[in-house]
Structures are given as C-alpha cells and as structure tokens.
Structure 1
Amino acid sequence: MARQRNTTRLAGEASAEAAATQDRPTEDTSVDPAAGAFFDCDNTIMQGAAIFYLGRGLYKRKFFSTRELARFAWQQAYFRLHGAENAGHMADAKESALSIVQGHRAADLEAICEDVFDEFMAEKIWPGTRALVQMHLEAGQRVWLVTAAPQEAARVIAARLGMTGALGTVAETIDGVYTGRLVGEPLHGPAKAEAVKALAAREDLDLARCAAYSDSANDIPMLSLVGYPYVINPDSELRRHARRNGWRVRDFRTGRKAAKVGIPAAAGLGAAAGGTAAAVAIYRNRHR
C-alpha cells in the first residue's frame, strides 16, 4: 500500500514538473493568479478517449499491427457506449502504448500528436466544455488539462484549446528516447489529485478558489480538492456522488440539465445562470 502511494505521488509530481517546463503564452493575462481551473479530458473535454485516438494515429503511421488496432477500437467502443472508464482497459492501453513508443523519440511523438489532433480529436471536442475553458481564461484565470493520456498528447490538446498547460502521464526518456517505462504510474484517479496538489504548490494557487471538471467517479479525489467541483457528462456513480454533495452537473450529451444544475462559473466570480449557453454562442460566432 505504501509503495502504491509512493508511485501515485511520484506520478503526480512528475506531471507537475513537466507542466512547469511547458512553454507559456508570452503575454500573461492572469488577473486572478490564485484561482484556476482543471479539466479532465476524456468525455469531459472530448467525446471518447484521447489515448485511443492517438492509437489510431500511430497505427496509420505503422507503429503497430492491425490486431493491436482492433484492441484499441474495442476499448474505445466500450468507452463510448458506457461513458465510463474501465480500469482493465486503461491498464491494457498503458501497456500497449509503452511497448509501441519504446525506442522512439519524444519529439517525434509530439509532432505526430499535432496531426492526430487535426485528424481525429478536433471534431470530438464538446463545444459546451470548450466554452467553459474560455470563460475561465477570459476571467483572467489559468486553466490546465488533467489527463491519463501521455504528456506529449496532453500538451498538444491544451495548446489547441488555448489552455495554460497540461498535466499528463509522464513516460521515462533517456536522451529524448522512450525507455518503455513510466515515471510513477498513469495519471489516473488519485494520481490526478497528486498532480493538481503539486502544481498548485508550484504555481501558488489557492485550491479553495479553484474549479475542477470531470465526468468520472475516478476523479472524485481531484474534484474534492477544489472549492468549486463541477460534473460534466457524468457516469452514474459520479452523478449520485454529485447529487449527495450538491455539486453542479451539466450533461452536454443530451443538452438537458440534471438535478441541482448551475452554470459552472469562473470560480468566485458569480457568472450568471445561463452563461454556458451564451458562452457557446459567443465561441461559435467568433470562430465562424
């Protein structure tokens, strides 16, 4: 048990350290530096799972076999049908991904991730969640993506959405080449909470003034860290937990509000109810 806690903490700290070294916008527009927001990726930011889209992109570039692609496809189909993560599938995806990238250069994978975003991910982004990201940014707050996907993919997704940075799973490299091992463990469940805590310490964030968004009960540890937890497209367990704790819920899959819904506002700024719909409309108008 103690060893598991140590690898979880190591994964979180490694992810926070990697996030700290990412390029930031040259112009710092933060007017509320102690507050921020953390967004889960899979089924919160985008429909489906980023690692499986990455798998499709790597297959297209002949990184692995048709049989391995079929396994990725089955896991992705399960995720989309059930709207929930399966721990066995996540572990299998991790092992597959590590064996696939072993011996390849990290810089090459990040370049591939740029193309994979355009090919598979861009059209899967939920407009409502993207509008929430923009609301925080326009309120002068910093925003991070938090995902079990590789750090290289996480950085690309975050940059494309205009986020401050990303926390993702860190794979070990030597001289820029993947060894086939992780630093700690996948950034999943409690490891996400450890990463958020480590990043908050580095960035002087007050977690009581921060917001977090997720679809999965696996992320209850992360959601419980912040003063403003919000639930997006929830699985059944997280929906029940949110109802018991009075957390706000939004389901962009149906467009219908769940019980105790309030529009997730920039933390502490009191954006009016109905703000999500307005933000979506503004976002679409700006990007036509």
Structure 2
Amino acid sequence: MNRRTVLKSAYAQFLFLMSGADHDQMDRMRSYITTMVAGWDVEQVKSVVGETLHDIVDPLVFAEAAELISDHKLCGRDVVIVSASGEEIVGPIARALGATHAMATRMVVEDGKYTGEIAFYCYGDAKAEAIRALAAREDYALEHCYAYSDSITDVPMLETVGHPTVVNPDRTLRKEAAARGWQMRSFSKPVSLRDRLPAAPSGAAVATSFAVGVSALAAGALTYTLLRRFAF
C-alpha cells in the first residue's frame, strides 16, 4: 500500500470511529475498499494478516466483552462472529476467540487475485439473512439467541434474535434502542486480545463484528452477536 492509500484508509477509519457509519458511508467505504484491493494476490494477503495480526497489529477487545464471552461459553453457547469485514481478517480473529462459526464479507477471486467485486457483502439485511440461514442449519432457536452491536446498520441483525443488546451505541442506535426497549450496555476498558487469550475458556459462544474493511485491523470498534444452541 502506498502512502496515499494508507492515509486515505486512516482518515476513513477516523471518521468511522468519531461518528459511526450510516448506510451511505458504508457503501462508500465498501466501494473504496473493493477498488483498492482489485488485483491483490489472495494468498499474499492471508499471509500478511497471519504474520502481523499479533506481532504488528494487536486487536483490542473490551474487558467487559471478554468477561461476557466467557460467561456465554461457560453456558455452552456457540460462538458466531458476524462481520462486514473481509473473511481474511475475520477468520483468524474468530479462531483466536475459539468461535464455532464466522460469517464475513467475501470477495470474488479469479486466478488467485481479487477482481474488485463482492461475492457476499455481510452487512445490513444480508447479515440478518446469513444469521437466519445458519440458525436453520444448526437448529438455533433465534428467539433464545443474543445479539450485540454498536451500529444502527445492525438493526436487522438485532431484530432477528430474542435478546438484542446495544453496546456503546451510536446516536441513532441509542434512540432506536430506547424506543424499542432494548437493553443498553457500556464497555470502557479495552485490552489486548492476545493478553486475554490464555484466560478465555475453550468452546463455544459469541459473535464479534469488527468494524469496516482493511483499516478495521487497527480499530477497536467491535460489535458482538451471540447465538445459543438448544437441545430439541
């Protein structure tokens, strides 16, 4: 990535962190990211992510979220990470968290390179549809499931479950949650994901949605979706 690309990505991420992202902003971000990565070698990108995820870029998770994740895992609940970010980034983080499943944005690949087109955009209504499809396959009872998010763009996801919760919500989502009577929580203690890994129980249950695009590697903006497995 040249200097101009790095600066543009950093600026886009700054705007996201300061103001959140509505649908128009997300569309612009998506267009920018897909154009930027066209022609990149897929295996090289995966290799870079794998080599730098903890040595250079150290993802953050809120301590309160880590405790919540542990509580859900101890209850035997499945972990599902649902993210608008690319699967190349979400996959390694999902594995680090011991997730059962991960759903993320997938790019079209031809001859080992990204074409700049999107095969599946895990965002908005599509994210909710992906969750319903997974629930059908895995026999999740959605009325007993939990979802956590900080963004108004995740309202379709929150509506699919019986226990929606907003965490550090943006202004629009806060108003929506108040109108619907959804639970609100505040997380304020970011910690290194690497430091939390030894304490995390193995097994089962959260979904963590990491902000947006390639620049989300450096972000602490997280949303969470937890799905519970029930015996029938």
Task: Provide TM-score, normalisation by structure 2.
Answer: 0.74
Shift of 1:254: 8.1
Contact 1:155–1:165 at 8 Å: present in 2 too?
A: no
Contact 1:207 1:227 in 2 (8 A): yes
Match of 2:53 in 1: 117
* More contact order relative to length (CA 8 Å, sep ≥ 6): 2
Quote how far apart the aligned CAs of 1:93 are.
Answer: 3.0
Q: 1:70 Cα deviation (Å)?
A: 1.5
CA distance in 2, matches of 1:115, 1:93: 25
Equivalent-residue separation in structure 2 for 1:66 and 1:200 (angstroms): 43
> Which residue, out of 80, 95, 100, partners 2:17?
80
Q: Is the 8 A contact 1:133 1:163 kept in 2?
A: no
Q: Which residue pairs with 2:140 in the alignment?
A: 205
| CA distance 1:139–1:129, change in 2 (3 Å) | same
TM-score by length of 1: 0.61
Tell me the residue number matched to 2:106.
170
**Cα gap change, 1:159/1:107 in structure 2, threshold over 3 Å: closer, same or farther?**
same
Aligned to 1:71: 8
CA distance in 2, matches of 1:135, 1:175: 44
Report the counterpart of residue 177 of structure 2 in structure 1. 242
Shift of residue 175, structure 1, vs aligned partner: 4.7
Contact 1:208 1:226 in 2 (8 A): yes
Aligned length: 194
Q: Classify the secondary structure of the residue corresponding to 1:81.
A: helix
- Shift of residue 209, structure 1, vs aligned partner: 1.4
- Aligned AA (2:134): L
Which residue does the alignment assign to 2:230?
none
Larger Rg: 1
Unaligned 5+ segments in structure 2 are 191-195, 201-232
Q: 3-state SS of the aligned residue for 2:46?
A: helix
CA shift, 1:111, in A, is: 2.4
Q: How does 1:215-254 map to 2 (within 5 A)?
A: 215-253=150-188
Q: Matched residues in 1 for 2:178 and 2:154: separation?
A: 15
Q: 1:86 to 1:103 in 2, by over 3 A?
A: same
**Is structure 2 residue 92 aligned with structure 1 residue 156?**
yes
Kindly indicate whether the alpha-carbon contact (under 8 Å) linking 1:75 and 1:89 is maintained by their aligned counterparts in 2: no
In structure 2, distance between residues paired with 1:79 and 1:67:
18
Q: Hey, which bits of structure 1, 4+ residues long, moved more than 6 A?
A: none
Alpha-carbon distance in 1 for matches of 2:188, 2:199? 23
Which residue identity does 2:110 align to in structure 1? I
SS at match of 1:125: strand
1:72–1:93 Cα contact (<8 Å) kept: no
AA matched with 2:15: Y
Q: Which residue of 2 aligns with 1:179?
A: 115
Tell me, in whole angstroms, the C-alpha distance in 1 between the residues paired with 2:126 and 2:83: 10
Shift of 1:79: 1.8
As a proportion of its length, which structure holds more strand?
A: 2
Which residue in the other structure is 1:196 paired with?
131
Q: CA RMSD for the aligned pairs?
A: 2.4
Q: Is the 8 A contact 2:62 2:189 kept in 1?
A: no
Residue 85 of structure 2 aligns to a residue whose secondary structure is strand
Identical amino acids, percent of aligned pairs: 33
- Of Structure 1 and Structure 2, the greater helix share is in 1
Unaligned 5+ runs, structure 1: 1-63, 256-282
Question: Please, which of 38, 43, 46 is the counterpart of residue 102 of structure 1?
Answer: 38
Amino acid in the other structure paired with 1:229: P
